[in-house]
Chains A and B, each alone.
Chain A
Amino acid sequence: MAGSRTQNWQSLGVLDSTTDHEFAIPVKRINDGDDVSFFLTSKAYKDIMTFLLQLNASMFPRKSKVEESQADLLQTWELGSPDIEFSSTVMKLGELMVKLSEFIEEAPPDTGPRRFGNVSFRKWYELVNSRTSALLDDYLPPKVLQRHSNSPDGVTAKEEIQAYLLGSFGSAQRLDYGTGHELSFLAFLGCIWKLGGFANAEPGVEERGIVLGIIEPYLQLVRRLILTYTLEPAGSHGVWGLDDHSFLPYIFGSAQLSPAISNVADIPTEGSLPSAPEPGDVAKVAAVERERGTNMYFSAIGFIYDVKKGPFWEHSPILFDVSGVKAGWAKINKGMLKMYNAEVLSKFPVVQHFPFGSLFLWEKDPTAVAAPSSVHTSSHPAKPTGQMNAAILRDPMQEGTRAPCPVGIKPIYKCIKTRSWWAACDDGAMGSATWFEPAIC
């Protein structure tokens, strides 16, 4: 197995219940590009990444030596597999997703004229909003919710975490849903983890429950919301984004298909599980139909097939490109994590809505290395406001003659001069005045 990440099992710390803690209503802190740079060195960022990597590592198949046998015992973590242990918290939160889905019956889509998004989503959202407090009481253990701040009239844990839950289902105002909302749900689960709400099991066991028993039902709920209320893709890059709405299923789904590991220190950066479908299978309808019931990556791809009409390579070129990766699902998994870091956590339009409280802290992480300023953090969005500072308003054209390549944080594909598939079939034409013939059209 070529190349392995040396990484010990790191998990998000759990708050010591015996020490004082001051909870806080989460507030937005990211107002400009510099704030994004700060965010990337914050404790909140570190906690988000720790939690994400922890969940990711748990989804790699496991192998263990069976005594008196030469062969390894191989264990995969498929959707719907009976081998996954769900703790009571996981089961309850999975049920909460079903419950929220049932609210759709109470807020049927409006049949009247509409421009695009269905206004009844606001009714659904209001139902959730008005019932959140009671729902949390029903679906989370009291020890999580009833922790109080040290000060007598301080904020409770419940008040802090419900902001993240409410931020997880799209914007009622804009009638859209995107990766920022997905991030809010990840943070909601991270809060519960920090509050000791999840079972203290063997490393990986509870995490698998979270991914398969909560996050997958969450994604099912979100897909149903998108279809029911025709939610617009929030800040969609159209064909030039990975997916109109989601990112996490591509991370966890590629981990599910990666080579089996004995322990998390061996997480591979290449290769695939021998029985895994080929990455190129995403372009084959039959293969997608076969795999979408067991794998999160294919489940997400299947949803794209459900909603998009047209050639896959054309409406989803980034996923099509990824399907050409030769080094296996572990390579794709690693790439997805890098891409999540760059395209979600480092993008102002996404993280500007993320609120910070006492659990996800807007404080500098002393161990963080300062990230160089990046166009990722400054490539500003469709939401110019009067508050933006110079970093955001910076014109990429004025940054020398170089294209506004995102630099810093991580190597980014934009910096690499890739010739496209059609350009590659006509050597020498690039940049010259000769006419070149692409392979298609």
Chain B
Amino acid sequence: MSDLDKAIAQLRACRPIPEAQVRELCYKARELLIEEGNVVGVDAPVTICGDIHGQFHDLMELFRVGGDVPDTNYLFMGDFVDRGFYSLESFLLLLCLKVRYPDRITLIRGNHESRQITTVYGFYDECLRKYGSANVWRYCCDVFDYLALGALVTGASTKLEATGAGFAESYPQNSMPADDLDIEIEILNSNGDIMNRFPRSQPQAPSTPKPEPSSSPILGTPARTGPAGTGASGSSSGSLSNDGGAVLCVHGGLSPLIDTVDKIRLLDRKQEVPHEGAMCDLLWSDPDEIDGWGLSPRGAGFLFGADIVKHFNHKNDISLIARAHQLVMEGFKEMFDSTIVTVWSAPNYCYRCGNVAAILELGEDGSNGGYVARSNGDAGRKAEREPRGAPGRRYRVFEAAPQDSRGMPAKKPVADYFL
């Protein structure tokens, strides 16, 4: 067993690795990440994950539900650290997996992967508490500077391959789509049972309302109106069937300074997250029910509306933007006619928010022998095209990991205010 495998085993048991090993790990990770572009190319199949925020046991639950690395190909959209108790263990495990299986896991940067933010929101305190010095925090921050800003998933299938899954008890019996329908969205619970599925609307009949899904039996939360995750958007019709375009993954969203994916590629990313500008916006912005651009109440990044997303996607031959950054009670939320989705992977956020988490699986399009010629995010296509159909989306929804197995700490160091 190599040292790296040992470190992975130790971290999987939620035990931090020694400082010297962190240093070595971070050095190796940096060498690897420096070779990646600002926008990493990722081939489907891939499982896309949102914020983790140091919720280590829930990250383990995520791997249980979504499959282990390297069996499953993962893309994490940042915010590994801060707020949770185990940011250190969570980030170091992901980093070890990245170094061990570089082609099976992609990590991109969130707004919390920053020196300034981590000094305020907990990761710095956690490193100091767990190691007695800030060295490990410093090594990790150096890695943050090398994380990619986005990823472009290509080769995703518009069709969802059957998983052979059964139906959850909560599945609405009267709304079961016929087997021959083209399923665009499927929602599975943490046991892998189908909670709901939505057929792709036919271009001739785009307004077919989707059956009302109910995730409440497993969520324990009040039933909501729209489809789970699409509810608030009111967009229950999904997208039109078509060739799958690329999926752009960023932590926050779009920037008024970025109209093409290529412009992201031109940024100098190897720095602390700036307080303004394109790099800042990609990590901080949020979609909102507005026209055009708006000021963000966060004080960084912008709000952007459906028109911005649709124009960007069309111009860049992108069918879907996947992003994280915002807590959503049902784990995911599609907006703007399924042109953008928020994926949130920290269940019962901060031990109290009562939300479920989700991950998004995109299947591989095997219909053309795996050959992917389109949708590489190129801008400036002259030919008029139909909007790309979004790829088939399988959301796996899960709750917080059980807590009874966690031991009680033996000692309580006292903060110096109280010395």
Contacts and interface: CB of A to CB of B under 8 A. Distances in A.
A9 interface: no
B418 A325 contact: yes
B407 interface: yes
A315 to B, nearest CB: 4
Given A237-B122, A412-B416, A441-B407, A385 B351 contact: no
Contacts of B21: 433
Nearest to A332: B418
A238 B298 contact: no
A149 to B, nearest CB: 34
Contact of A423 (B132, B280, B353): B132
B412 interface: yes
Nearest to B133: A417
Interface residues of B, number: 81
Interface string B315-354: 0000000000011110001000000000000001011111
Interface in A267-313: 307-311, 313
A339 interface: yes
A66 interface: no
A319 to B, nearest CB: 10
Given A384-B280, A424-B411, 19 more contacts: A113-B225, A115-B232, A116-B355, A237-B122, A238-B83, A239-B83, A239-B350, A308-B352, A386-B276, A396-B119, A403-B138, A404-B119, A416-B416, A418-B129, A421-B409, A422-B410, A432-B18, A441-B15, A441-B407
Contact of A379 (B116, B350, B354, B409): B116
B300 A397 contact: no
Interface in A231-263: 232-233, 235-241, 244
Interface string B81-113: 011110000000000000000000000000100
A176 to B, nearest CB: 10
Interface of B: 6, 10, 13-21, 53-54, 82-85, 111, 115-117, 119-122, 124-126, 128-135, 137-138, 141, 222, 224-226, 231-232, 272, 275-276, 280, 297-300, 326-329, 333, 348, 350-355, 400, 403, 406-419
B72 to A, nearest CB: 24
A173 B294 CA distance: 14
B272 to A, nearest CB: 6
Contacts, number: 264
A368 interface: no
Nearest to B111: A382
Contact of B299 (A317, A322, A382, A418): A382
B120 A381 contact: yes
Contacts of B53: 238
- Output the residue of A307, A384, A433 with the most chain B CB within 10 A: A384
Contacts of A422: 130, 409-410
Contacts of A334: 418
A203 interface: no
Contacts of A441: 13-15, 406-407
B408 A113 contact: no
Contacts of A111: 222
A320 interface: yes
20 contacts: A233-B350, A236-B121, A237-B82, A238-B53, A240-B122, A307-B352, A308-B352, A309-B352, A315-B352, A379-B120, A380-B116, A382-B299, A413-B417, A414-B124, A419-B132, A423-B130, A438-B16, A439-B407, A439-B409, A440-B408
A423 to B, nearest CB: 7
Query: How many of chain A's residues touch chain B, expressed as a range?
Result: 35 or more
B82 A414 contact: no
Contacts of B16: 438
Contact of B413 (A321, A379, A414): A321
A28 interface: no
A235 B85 CA distance: 17
Given A375-B119, A397-B115, A403-B137, A116 B353 contact: yes
Contacts of A142: none
Contacts of B418: 321-322, 325, 331-332, 334-335, 413
